[in-house]
Amino acid sequence: MYPTEYLIQARPPNLKFSIRISEDTDVGGRQVSMEFDKEWFTVASDLVRMLRLFKPGHFARGSEWVCITRQLGAELEGKVGTSGLAFSIDMVPGPEPPPTIPKEITYFFDPAEMDCFKKFDVDLSSAFSELRNFPKLALAGSYFDDSFGEKAQENQIVDIFISLEALLLEKADELVLRLATRMANLLGADGDERKRVSDEVKDFYNVRSKIVHGEILKPKQVELVREVGRLRELARRAILSSVALGLEVGLGVEFFALLDAMSLDENQRTNVQKKASRFLYMHREG
């Protein structure tokens, strides 16, 4: 498996991209300079989001990185991977070592997953395009991405809840009970799992409320903050399930009504969850 500082190039950028090798400075014996279309970074960021949504784990990227779609030869051996592999490179001159990888980063990509990821990438990209008239989906995705940033875990929790509220609540003043119930209906395969999801959302939301209001966390809540990955995984599954369901009914009034109606009809819940699992190639229980 590749370490987290590497990316898998599943969707070539198809934009202008060139690399020059010059003889006059020392980066492994050569100076590397790059020319590329600014729009390419949007494509690369989309790839990062797809990797984060594809499977559980904390995926993070460095501040400077590029994706390579062809072999560059032996000049940069040890710096550049083979075709299809993206690599991190420090483009700031100076002797500073590369940034360390935070301990919480737990994402690994197995090459055997490539075909599955390619299909996921194409299908989900198409779904986002179809749902582009629902701007809250883009907002939810943006805050989900922000939660992977180099910030305190308390702030990651706040980002994740902004993502969930944008996606699953019509109004900003709705109670956490509605959010927890909708999350449980969407993700819980049975009564036990629905209760677990609902309880976790409520517990994390209580932590979130204390954080934003400047209150001191209790010891158990401090421990829960360290488990932010559990909340992020619920959010990942909720986003994917909502997108799949949104393709059926949109992400407006009918979507919210369906989430609420699932509480009263077991057959409907089963049918809806089956449709909503379309993009859930992998998820971690508990």
| 145 contacts: CB under 8 Å, gap ≥ 6 | 45, 48, 49, 52
- For residue 141, the model assigns a pLDDT of 95
> What is the arithmetic mean of pLDDT over 96-102?
43
The sign of the torsion formed by the CA atoms of 136, 138, 143, 147 equals positive
Residues 101 and 107: their CA atoms lie apart, in Å, by 11
> What is the arithmetic mean of pLDDT over 229-248?
95
Higher pLDDT, 209 or 105: 209
Query: Model confidence over 9-37: pLDDT tens digits?
Result: 333 344 444 333 333 444 444 444 444 44
Q: Is the pLDDT score of 218 beyond 70?
A: yes
Binned at pLDDT 50, 70 and 90, residue 43 comes out as: low
Binned at pLDDT 50, 70 and 90, residue 47 comes out as: confident
Mean pLDDT over all residues of the chain?
Answer: 74
Sketch the domain layout of the chain as residue ranges: 7-88, 131-279
Burial environment of residue 243 by CB neighbours within 10 A (0 to 12, 13 to 18, 19 or more): buried
Where is mean pLDDT largest: 107-116, 224-233, 266-275? Answer: 224-233
- What are the tokens at 76? 């940069």
Burial environment of residue 184 by CB neighbours within 10 A (0 to 12, 13 to 18, 19 or more): buried
Output the pTM of the full model: 0.74
Work out whether strand 85-88 and strand 65-66 pair parallel, antiparallel, or are unpaired: antiparallel
Query: Model confidence over 118-139: pLDDT tens digits?
Result: 889 889 999 999 999 999 999 9
Query: Model confidence over 172-190: pLDDT tens digits?
Result: 666 899 999 999 999 998 8
